[in-house]
Structure 1
């Protein structure tokens, strides 16, 4: 059983695409999988309740199947930072509650379990706790998704330093092509490879839906799995 926390250099770095892509790749290898999105804002209301598009993508690539509440126990409609979304509906996010919600899924001991954060590393849960504290509480190694665009070197290096300062291991990173017009992508990738203290798990180009394969299945072709005992 292997479990990792997935974070990104910032919002829209492609965390969900890479998380689902790694799960799809694990399935290709015959492994059991579970993708978790503890907190999600910007959820849509359906007859069965609030549902988040990213969490649904992780659910689709989790095998054996689990119910939605297991994937995303804290779901909010406002499309703003999670702690603000929770506050807007009269709720308060607490690290202890998130840690408790993750205990049972982690105890299931799937071959690969990935817990996806929200936004970047230092997204607040409340005035005193951050979502990164969940990775610390669970003592999970971290995979960093780097959105390849202007500023990504600084964002990636600062995030790696923050992960290390929290006493956690950066287990790997993925370069994700979030745009088609980043002319210095190759040079940025070389710089990231030099400075980030972890293996690169893949470079995913900017993907569009051009076939019957889902985007995560397309992404899986460019990825390699982290270490799985």
Structure 2
């Protein structure tokens, strides 16, 4: 196996590892965040204006910070969590923190698309807020939520490449260290091609599940 191929394989695996784990964390934490943002808003089933405004402000702050700056700002926190601020595992921390509020907003938007009449019908039948969330809101919005997960994963592919700038590993790190610093244009082109392929594959998988869920509704 040539050195170039080995470098590409290792870096591709590192990128996949970062993106998959970060997407899972963003999904597990971002969906509940989005649900909470929606149900505590004005006129919703658990209206709480103060809590909603606090959460919304925090989400907006994190979404406003460019990812490269977030990488640097979170270095002490990353070091506290994983013991280092450099490397593939360390990059997962800022990637996840950047993706959670993004996934939260997408989930909130998806839930707002649910027909309010369906919610009112569930309330009329005596459903509790928890039952409305789990039996009405999330099932009805699931195709849109899955589409949001796909968008989040695709964004994380790009973010993971940025993480390479500060030694986060993956294809971005390979492109910087070899493609840019050593003027190895072939490696630069291969990293771009692999990133494009990853985005296309992620979109295809996401679209497949969205279509399946839409048909089953």
The verdict on a shared fold, with TM-score over 0.5 as the criterion, is no
Q: Which has the larger radius of gyration?
A: 2
Q: Which has the higher helix share?
A: 2
The structure with the largest strand share of the pair is 1
Give the TM-score, by structure 2 length: 0.23
